[in-house]
Structure 1
Amino acid sequence: MHNQDGSNGVGGGPDGHPEDRVPAPHAVIEGRYELLEPVGSGGMGEVWKSYDRRLRRFVAVKGLLDTTAASPDTKRAALQRARREAEALAKIEHQNVVTVHDQIETADQVWIVMKLLEGRSLADLLSRDGVLGVPRAADIGLQMAQGLRAVHEAAVLHRDVKPGNVLVRDGGQVVLVDFGIATFEGADRVTRYGGVIGTPPYLAPELFAPGSPGPTRASDLWALGVTLYEMVEGRLPFAGREVWEVQAHIQQAPEPVFRYAGPLGPVIRALLVTDPAGRPDAASAEEMLREVLAEPGTPPPARAAGSTPPPTAPTTPPTPALVLPGPGPGPGPEPATPAGAVPPELLEPAPRGERGRRRGWKVAAAAACVVLLAGGGWVLAQNGSGGGRDDVSGRQGAGSGGVDTEQAWQQWKNARKRLTIGAKEDQPGLSLHDRKGVWSGFDIDIAYALARELGYDEKQVDFYGVTTANRASKLRNGEVDLVVASYSMTPEREKRDGIRFVGPYYKAGTSLLVRRKSARYDLDEAVDVKRNHVDVCTARDSTYADRLRKDGYTTGKWQPDTYKECVKRLLDRNSSVYAVASDDVLLAGYAKDDPAHLKLLPSGSGTEPYGVAMRKDDPLLRGRVCSALRKILAGAEWPEMYMKDLSPLTGRKTAPNRPELQPCPGE
């Protein structure tokens, strides 16, 4: 399901309807979904680019049933299983998992209707580039782990994790696709043609052990480890096209040779432990990959040569990657350990206990990072020659010892001809990215004002869509320079996310959004929500995620990445969600957009101070942003922005008192 065109990229007649360009009629499922052309295959069958005649949009449609099922009993069992799988997949809402819109059952097939995504597969990227830099591979692996965590929390197993089923979108978003052979945990082991379903080089060894229970979460994590190895080493860890060949290589040499993995080596080793009980789960893998990206000296993941910049950024010539000579095909002898290198035993998997495994991994990763960086032994994706972010950061340190601050700032700007700012795309009044590609709202106005004070005009500013769950990683990974995204300032976040705040530039209250008319409950105050024990939704990793439980509210086991998804659940009459918790001004935007169905409850106690976030290792930028924000708050701009963007939401006739800026660095 890759190399797909989105609805905006499809030609045709005046309204882009496929009938204007397709000469012959196509099969139509349930009178609604018109199959246009196959865009990929995998799992049980082809994925079709299709047209939804009811909602007038392009989608991807895939059949879940193995049409080669022989007997009527086999077909009945497969049909029942496919129904359950489609229902489970439709419940997964995560930015790193393809969205399932609908489930359709015909006489001989169960179809899932998915969002049609633009982008190319990771397999295509590897085919073109051969090998990826460690930072970029870690970032892709992190997003894969995040997607697998959401899949596993829904009690679903992917079963075919591999580069061909990983979509890398413009701007760097990674999406797990092709759930055609997914299954439930605990489901009967299903085989096809007498063998285990899946792609041989990515199948975990326990799937072939006598008495194996079949696929588990751990087998998906094995496939993640194989994919990470393939990204950084340029080849598969265990050679072979047939299952028996791959499994024989695993038995004969369970430790693959590492040449260029660097700090990713211990992570991959942990994922490729042959005993499934010894592998980290998706959440642990996520934490380990975050640690790799947060290691001192690890450069931010740069886009590979030829990759497309964010939609709002103009196309620029691709930056060449510095790639060391790739290894030859197939396993080779272990390279000699260079002088001063970390002994191999330090990179061995840590003890099996969860705490011991994580601690051992961190020690090994830190040692590997220091030694391999010094020796240049792993692949680095550079931002440019002689003027990349890490180079400038180094000069900043020297600058504090005598180099003029203004000169250091000019060096910083020379390395960044454009300023990239992370912002949320779906918050009316605060930050909104509409269908025409226009950004608007209070956060956006603050961001533009900061950019002007930093010496960038609006044409030199690129906005990049972020969510509550990923904004910290996008910042740490170097995909954005600043984040202005209703980011509540807390010391805990600075420590946990590895960032620094400047602000506040606004102080919001706390509130709840509910349905205007509820069939079961009268929800007019926050106490009604708590007393009735109705489910409250909030964005994952928001300040409300832990606070709600501590305050006695009922929350679901899994929370989405965005408040917009929470609002969708709230409006769904079949959902258990009856309230959304967030900042009053944020929720007021959703209530204003749909006053017939949504109402905002009175604000509660406490405030959420919004700050501008940046990487903690960039004190020069932090000082400049702090000075710029102080000037904005002191002038006429701030109340003007408030009255334009937020007054329509809050109902205030005058701007409130300006927030008091926390001390800038050095003050």
Structure 2
Amino acid sequence: MHSEDRAGTGAGAGPGRADDGAVSGSDERWAGDGLQRADPGAPQMWSPADSPAPGSPHLVIDDRYELREPIGSGGMGEVWKAHDRRLRRFVAVKGLLDRNAMTAGTQAAAMRRARREAEAIAKIEHPNVVTVHDQVETDNQVWIVMKLLEARSVAHLLRAEGLFTVPRASGIALQILRGLRAVHAASVVHRDVKPGNVLVRDDGVAVLVDFGIATFEGAEQVTRSGSVIGTPPYLAPELFTPGSPGPTPASDLWALGITLYEMVEGRVPFGGGEVWEVQENIRRAPDPVLRYAGPLGPVIQGLLITDPRERLDAATADAMLREVLGDPLTPHTGAAGPTSPAAHPPTTASEPASGPAPGPEPLGPTAPPEQQAHPGPGPGRRKWPWLKAATATLCVALLATAGWLVAKGDDPGGSTGTGPGSNDTASGGQGGGEPERWKDTHPTLEIGVKDDQPGLSKYDEKTETYAGYDIDLAYAIAERMGYDRDEVSFTTVASDLRSTALKTKQVDLVIASYSITDDRKTATPGGYSVDFAGPYYEASRGFLVREKSSKYTINDSSDLRRLKVEVCTARESTYEKELPKRGFTLTDSQPNTYQDCLDKLLDVTSDVYAVASDDIILAGYEKANPGKVRRLENIQGAEGYGVAMRPKTPLLKGEVCAALRDVLAGKVWEDMYRKNLSGLMGKKNPPGRPDLTECKGY
């Protein structure tokens, strides 16, 4: 990383900006949600002796791995983004030794132990375990070099969405479990299984990461400051019993059970900020209430048996999870399915006025509430006697849980476009001959939007609402489809997850500066195609650069080409393919959102000096950061924004196209522009109305 924009310095290793919850640059490519985010203005909890001081040249380990920026820091050390000079790729590097727990007398033994652990971890080869490329030893540290992942952690997704559907949680849990089985087969115990240490890639593959505190099965119990190392809500109770052998595979399975509970219930089962609080809650109420787990109830209960000798073993848990997924031959990877988009809380208008938290609704008669809360046996249960009963309960739950059926695509309302009463056909009708409407089978209109584009679509953390041109357009379309404002729900979708959100039926529509292109209509990344109505707005292409830069003098876009300035853009955007064709240089990897690119542009220690996007998006960023960034003149080409939906949904497309025609034909479109965009673009009146080319025939 260069730092030419830091006055008076030639190179430096200042920490990169990493906002909690953002999936960009240095944030969640390595999991570590238990680590503190690296922040330029915040002191680090651990400053390794091997780490370069700010303003000094980057530390190079083994004449090969150049430490560029810390991804996160915590009590157990730092994870660094590093550049592998030999293979010319970026990797994640982590030190295994806790320097706070080392003394001069214990350093030699600690080094020997860390060396053995690194060797064992490096031998693990499994698609659901982070790939370890190398191990390196310096004077007083043992480093493991791992693959740098571009993915979201389960913790990040839970913060955004609250909880997962049963199939999605089951698929992720099955992959974590299989990763753990590979880890345990190598005689290694992970010791910190939790949502923050599980990454979910865009293709749905879950990867177990962060072996910074791993240990050998049966090794001595390592403590720090008199307490067991780990994250309190995920620590197994046997770790605190007299004569405990320390971490074992069974304690990892307990942590998996806590993680699985959190995925489907939206919270940890045993709360508490300190270890003693968590353990006391386990002792008092060892059987947490299950509200939304459905067929996962027996699996969770089996993993959370307090006696490790009776706890569900890995092989049995694997079989039960496959049973929940309805596929006894579920492959080791991809079981989780595509990742769902991160979601903000609903807008104020779409929040229910009262009532319990939403959960799966039964298709038919179900057991009484008390039986639903505890689908398995209570205290005093034994592992093998209850397994058959648990399997029977699981089968009943599979038939009784509507949320399960809908998530698997068997929506009895016909949203798949097959079977009687399908709402994905244009010719269907209600029994009384009334024209069929999308609302008849979709009482809430789910719309995917952006949350980081001022003027277009911006999420307000204080009011928990969205605002902008796209949001007003969404409400206008919904109103013409028969929806009230409180019947519209918004979900945040990143650029590279828009098609996935439609494919997995997380949303009905996407109104998120989604450019209409032929490749997106035929085969989008991941093999998905989408259909469009529109365009409803046409934007020009442009660049945003730093207002002041000591490295480059940039007057127009030709300077970007001539100087080979690194340009950042959103992954799977049209710019990712278009700019290289025009001679521009892209950064090594593109983040999920334009906001992530902006964050890098504002970080004077980064190599990003320009952001490519639509002029309307860049205008919003420029206004929000006066004196820091400026726009260049637009380049050739335009982006026509469309309302996206799943293919073969003619009923929905017909209603959206009719709504768009009405909006564009009247004064509503002009009013929305003046309200949201005229101040950004410096033009009182909107550009010419686009032709609805994607609505021909509807």
State yes or no: 1:500 paired with 2:495.
Answer: no
Contact 1:504 1:611 survives alignment (8 Å): yes
Alpha-carbon shift at residue 521 of structure 1 (Å)? 0.6
Is 1:235 equivalent to 2:299 in the alignment?
yes
In structure 2, the residue matched to 1:425 is 451
RMSD over aligned CA atoms reads 6.0
Q: How do 1:282-297 residues align onto structure 2 when only pairs under 5 Å count? A: 285=334, 289-290=337-338
Q: Residue 552 of structure 2: SS of its match in structure 1? A: coil
Distance between the aligned counterparts of 1:545 and 1:599, measured in 2?
21
2:441 to 411, 415, 436: 415
Instruction: Return the match for 1:63 from 59, 75, 97.
Output: 75
2:479 maps to which residue? 452
Q: Which runs of 5+ in 2 are unaligned?
A: 1-30, 44-71, 78-97, 115-136, 178-187, 223-228, 236-251, 265-292, 367-371, 378-382
Residue deviations 1:410-466, cap 9 Å, x none?
563243333232211111111112233342222112112111211223333222222
Residues 158 and 651 of structure 1: is their aligned pair in 2 closer, same or farther, counting only changes over 3 Å? Answer: farther
Contact 1:430 1:443 in 2 (8 A): yes
Residue 533 of structure 1, CA deviation: 1.9
Equivalent in the alignment of 1:476: 503
1:526, distance to aligned residue in structure 2 (A):
1.7
CA distance in 2, matches of 1:81, 1:246: 44
Partner of 2:107: 73
CA 1:289–1:166 in structure 2 vs 1: closer, same or farther (change >3 Å)? same
Count the aligned residue pairs. Answer: 489
In the alignment, the residues of structure 2 paired with residue 589 and residue 45 of structure 1 have an alpha-carbon distance, to the nearest angstrom, of 30
2:360 maps to 320
**Per-residue displacement from partner, 1:82-115 (whole Å, max 9, x unpaired)?**
99999999x988654768xxxxxxxxxxxxxxx9
The separation in 2 between residues aligned to 1:388 and 1:528, in whole angstroms, is: 56
Which residue is 2:167 aligned to?
A: 134
Partners of 2:33 and 2:692 in 1: how far apart? 58
Corresponding position of 2:568? 537
Distance (Å, rounded) in 1 between the aligned partners of 2:431 and 2:577:
41
Alignment deviations for residues 338-396 of structure 1 (CA, whole Å, 9 cap, x no partner):
xxxxxxxxxxxxxxxxxxxxxxxxxxxxxxxxxx9xx9699852569997453886413
Structure 1 residue 651: deviation in Å?
Answer: 2.3
Q: Give the Cα–Cα distance (whole angstroms) in 1 for the partners of residues 511 and 534 of structure 2.
A: 11
Q: Which has the higher contact order (CA 8 A, sep 6+)?
A: 2
Shift of the 474–399 alpha-carbon distance from structure 1 to 2, 3 Å rule, reads: closer
- The answer as to whether partners of 2:480 and 2:659 remain within 8 angstroms in 1 is yes
Change (3 A) 1:176 1:613: same
Question: Aligned partners of 2:566, 2:142: CA distance in 1, in Å?
Answer: 24
Partners of 1:594 and 1:158 in 2: CA distance: 47
Shift of 1:525: 1.7
Structure 1's 332 and 491: CA in aligned 2 closer, same or farther, altered over 3 A?
farther
What is the alpha-carbon distance in structure 1 between the residues aligned to residue 110 and residue 612 of structure 2?
Answer: 44
* Corresponding residue of 1:361: none
Distance change >3 Å, CA 498–CA 412, structure 1 → 2: same
Q: Which residue of 2 aligns with 1:342?
A: none
2:606 to 551, 554, 575: 575
Match of 2:514 in 1: 487
Partner of 1:463: 490
Alignment of 1:621-640 (within 5 A): 621-640=652-671
**How far off is 1:508 after superposition?**
1.0
Question: Could you state the TM-score of these two structures normalised by the residue count of structure 1?
Answer: 0.57
Asked whether 1:553 is paired with 2:601, we answer no
Q: Out of 640, 643, 649, which is 1:612 matched to?
A: 643
Q: Could you say if the C-alpha distance between residues 480 and 505 of structure 1 is closer, same or farther in structure 2, counting changes exceeding 3 Å?
A: same
- Residue of 625, 628, 641 corresponding to 1:597: 628
Shift of residue 406 of structure 1? 10
Superposed CA deviations along residues 210-242 of structure 1, whole A, max 9, x for unmatched, are: xxxxxxxxx99xx99x97999876428998999
Q: Kindly indicate whether the alpha-carbon contact (under 8 Å) linking 1:503 and 1:626 is maintained by their aligned counterparts in 2.
A: yes
Which residue of the other structure, out of 421, 441, 446, is the alignment partner of 2:468?
Answer: 441
How far apart, in 2, do the equivalents of 1:236 and 1:73 lie?
40
- Change in 2 beyond 3 A, CA 1:610/1:437: same
SS at match of 1:444: helix
In structure 2, how many angstroms separate the alpha carbons of the residues matched to 1:465 and 1:142? 27
State the AA in 2 paired with 1:584: D
Describe the superposition over 1:19-68 as per-residue Cα deviations: whole angstroms up to 9, x where unpaired. Answer: xxxxxxxxxxxxxxxxxxxxxxxx9999999xx9989xxxx995226565
8 Å contact from structure 1 (residues 312, 463) kept in 2: no
In the TM superposition, what is the alpha-carbon distance from 1:607 to its structure 2 partner? 1.1
Decide which of 323, 334, 339 is 1:260's aligned counterpart. 323
| TM superposition shift of 1:501 | 1.0
Residues 191-225 of structure 1: CA distance to partner in whole angstroms, max 9, x if unpaired?
Answer: 893599999x99xxxxxxxxxxxxxxxx99xx99x
Following superposition, the deviation at residue 479 of structure 1 comes to 2.7
Q: Contact between 1:95 and 1:561, CA under 8 Å: does it hold in 2?
A: no
**1:528 and 1:142 mapped to 2: Cα distance?**
51
Cα distance in 1, alignment partners of residues 431 and 697 from structure 2 = 13
**Which digits, 9 at most, give the CA deviation of each residue in 1:612-633, with x for residues without a partner?**
0122243211110011111211
Residue of structure 1 aligned with 2:618, choices 572, 582, 587: 587
> When you count helix as a share of all residues, which structure comes out higher?
1
Give unmatched runs, 5+ long, in structure 1: 1-42, 100-114, 126-131, 146-156, 169-173, 203-218, 272-279, 294-299, 337-371
Report the AA paired with residue 76 of structure 2.
Answer: L
Describe the SS at the equivalent of 1:396: coil
Question: How far apart in 1 are the matches of 2:661 and 2:174?
Answer: 36
Q: 1:264 to 1:534 in 2, by over 3 A?
A: farther
> Residues 6-17 of structure 1: matches in 2 within 5 Å?
none
Name the counterpart of 2:595. Answer: 564
DSSP 3-state at the match of 2:496: coil
Say if 1:424 and 1:465, in contact at 8 Å, map to a contact too: yes
CA distance in 1, matches of 2:167, 2:604: 45
Superposition deviation, residue 601 in structure 1: 1.0
SS in 2 for 1:625: helix
Distance 1:382 1:412, change over 3 A: farther
CA displacement, residues 553-610 of structure 1 (integer Å, 9 cap, x when unaligned) = 2223322211111101001111011111111111111112223010111111111110
